[in-house]
Each structure stands twice: as C-alpha cells, then as structure tokens.
C-alpha cells in the first residue's frame, strides 16, 4: 500500500517520508497548532504540553500540507487508543490506513496494546478499524465530564 501511495504522490512532485525510530513523539508543538484534533486533545489532556508528553502523534504531510494525523493516548493499564483525522480533501485515498498502521506498530513496539473505538454511526471509522484488523469485541457506553473554560 505504501508503494501505491508514494507512486500517486510522485505524480505531483517529490515525496519525503522521515520517521525517527528513537523518538516516537513525532508530533511537536508547532505541528500541534495545525492539527484538526487540537480542540479534542486539549479537552482530553488539558494542555498541548501534556498531550505531547502523554500521547503519541504522527502527521502525514505532502510539502507543507498536513494530509492526515493519527494520535494515540492517553494510556491506561498498558492499553492505548488510536484515533485518526484526515483533512477533507484527502479522504478516501488510503492515508489514514498508512498513518494508523505505522502508529499501531510503533505503539506495539513500545509495549502497548492498542484498541479502536468504533462509534456505531461513523462508517468510515468502522471500515478503517476492520481494514487495520480490529474486530468488534464488546459494546459499552461512555459517560464523560470535561472541564470547560468559561
């Protein structure tokens, strides 16, 4: 799949894919300000610094354009959730599969067990979860209370 994606991108120009294996916190403060899920991560962690310290993020970029972002965290008892967001003009091109599968492998190398929250109404998320090998194990109900700034 990676070969096909790179071939597709090469039609428009050069493609560079740099990954630092020794540092899995690929998402940095500068990139954090550009991601679509910034608001959600701020609500979950309380600050960008805590999100970057306690979570793991990857961004797939073409030139200076952010195409897809995947994030893992927070973790609990060795289990970590994977989430992804593709920018609207780059949906349905396989970028989420590529980014999530790399993050999935990186989290397993760090000793985490990963899971995917397959919200019933989100068909794209369900399809991606299946493509990545997740299966529907059990249904649960989630209640959450977030501190909101006034």
Q: What is the pLDDT of residues 57-106, one digit of tens each?
A: 888 888 778 889 999 988 888 889 898 999 999 998 888 998 998 898 88
Domain ranges of the chain: 2-131
**Averaged pLDDT for residues 4-28:** 63
Q: Please tell me the distance from the alpha carbon of residue 38 to that of residue 121, in angstroms, as a whole number.
A: 22
- Compute the CA torsion angle 50, 53, 54, 57 (nearest 10 deg): 110
Q: What is the pLDDT of residues 102-120, one digit of tens each?
A: 898 889 999 999 988 877 7
The answer to whether residues 118 and 142 touch, using CB atoms and an 8 Å cutoff, is no
pTM of the model: 0.72
Q: What is the CATH number of domain 2-131?
A: 3.40.630.30
């Amino acid at each position: 799949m990676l070969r096909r994606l790179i071939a597709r991108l090469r039609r428009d120009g050069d493609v560079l894919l740099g990954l630092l294996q020794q540092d899995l916190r690929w998402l940095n403060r500068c990139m954090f300000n550009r991601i679509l899920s910034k608001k959600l991560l701020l609500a979950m962690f309380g600050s960008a610094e805590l999100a970057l310290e306690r979570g793991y993020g990857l961004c797939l970029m073409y030139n200076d354009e952010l195409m897809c972002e995947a994030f893992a965290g927070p973790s609990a008892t060795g289990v970590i959730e994977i989430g992804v967001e593709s920018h609207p003009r780059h949906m349905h091109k396989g970028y989420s599969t590529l980014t999530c599968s790399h993050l999935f492998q990186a989290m397993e190398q760090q000793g985490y067990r990963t899971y995917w929250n397959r919200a019933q109404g989100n068909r794209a998320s369900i399809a991606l979860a299946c493509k990545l090998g997740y299966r529907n194990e059990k249904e649960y109900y989630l209640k959450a209370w977030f501190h909101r700034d006034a």
